[in-house]
């Protein structure tokens, strides 16, 4: 399969996690390409039985498409872990590198990296790594924005939607397994005063929606 096909299928899977049907406009935004390019590729993917396409309703992955998406996602997340664990990349630096490397990974290299990492279950951002058999267990932990005053827990996942967001979280000491307690919620805008480990910080509601917590 071509790099473009794998990128499309992976992004459809990620968008489909938030909505039943993926629109051409949302896919165009995710891939930063024109709507016309998306329409052309959708036709090709449909002909290969990787997606189901219904005009004006959007697309969804077939079983075959989902397997391909999870395989690509597995390689991407394994590369992210490898870059962090062995090459000293920070969690905000790994996405673009993994985007390139996920397409040039043989099954043997995939198995060796998985073993070298100790068969990790999650990537550096807390997202689950699909198994080699195409299985994945998505968590349903609440976001920090859903917590109430005095609620406590640990960070188990963050959205890696942008490099700047990840850098900002790191500057506040937020990382996987950080302890968080909600000290105050500002009624005006929903921002929060929180304790991250032993340090107090203010977190906007927008940032809080991208941090997921396993409550105590």
pLDDT tens digits for range 182-211: 999 998 899 999 999 999 999 999 999 999
pLDDT per residue over 137-180, tens digit each?
888 899 999 999 999 999 999 998 789 999 999 999 999 999 99
> pLDDT digit string (tens) for 121-136?
999 999 999 998 888 9
Contacts of 100 by beta carbon, 8 Å cutoff, 6+ apart: none
Does 102 have pLDDT greater than 60?
yes
Residue with tokens 């998406």: 69
| Secondary-structure class of domain 144-215 per CATH | mainly beta
User: Is the pLDDT reported for residue 3 higher than 80?
Assistant: no
- Is residue 67 within 8 Å of residue 30, measured between CB atoms? no
Give me the mean pLDDT over the 81-90 stretch.
96
CATH 1.10.10.10 spans which residues of the chain?
A: 3-61, 74-138
As its CATH architecture, domain 74-138 has Orthogonal Bundle (1.10)
Q: What is the mean pLDDT of the chain?
A: 92
Q: What is the pLDDT of residue 17?
A: 80
Please, what CATH class does the domain formed by 3-61 belong to? mainly alpha
> What was the pLDDT predicted at 1?
56
Q: Where in the chain is the domain with CATH 2.30.30.90?
A: 144-215
Strands 152-158 and 211-215: antiparallel
Chain segment 44-68, per-residue pLDDT in tens? 999 999 999 887 788 999 999 999 9
Helix (H) and strand (E) counts in the chain? 8, 7
């Amino acid at each position: 399969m071509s790099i473009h096909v794998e990128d499309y299928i992976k992004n459809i899977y990620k968008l489909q996690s938030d909505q039943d049907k993926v629109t051409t406009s949302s896919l165009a935004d995710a891939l930063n390409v024109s709507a016309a390019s998306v329409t052309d590729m959708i036709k090709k993917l449909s002909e290969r039985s990787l997606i189901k396409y219904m005009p004006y309703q959007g697309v969804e992955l077939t079983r075959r498409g989902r397997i391909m998406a999870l395989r690509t996602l597995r390689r991407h997340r394994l590369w992210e872990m490898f870059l962090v664990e062995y090459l000293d990349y920070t969690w905000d630096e790994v996405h673009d590198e993994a985007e390139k490397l996920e397409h040039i990974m043989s099954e043997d290299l995939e198995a060796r990296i998985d073993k070298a990492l100790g068969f990790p279950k999650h990537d550096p951002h807390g997202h689950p790594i699909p198994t080699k058999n195409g299985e994945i267990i998505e968590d349903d932990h609440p976001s920090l924005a859903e917590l109430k005053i005095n609620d406590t827990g640990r960070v188990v996942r963050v959205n890696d939607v942008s490099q700047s967001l990840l850098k900002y979280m790191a500057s506040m000491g937020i990382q996987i397994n950080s302890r968080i307690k909600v000290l105050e919620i500002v009624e005006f805008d929903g921002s929060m005063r929180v304790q991250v480990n032993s340090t107090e910080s203010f977190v906007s509601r927008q940032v809080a929606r991208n941090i997921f917590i396993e409550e105590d």
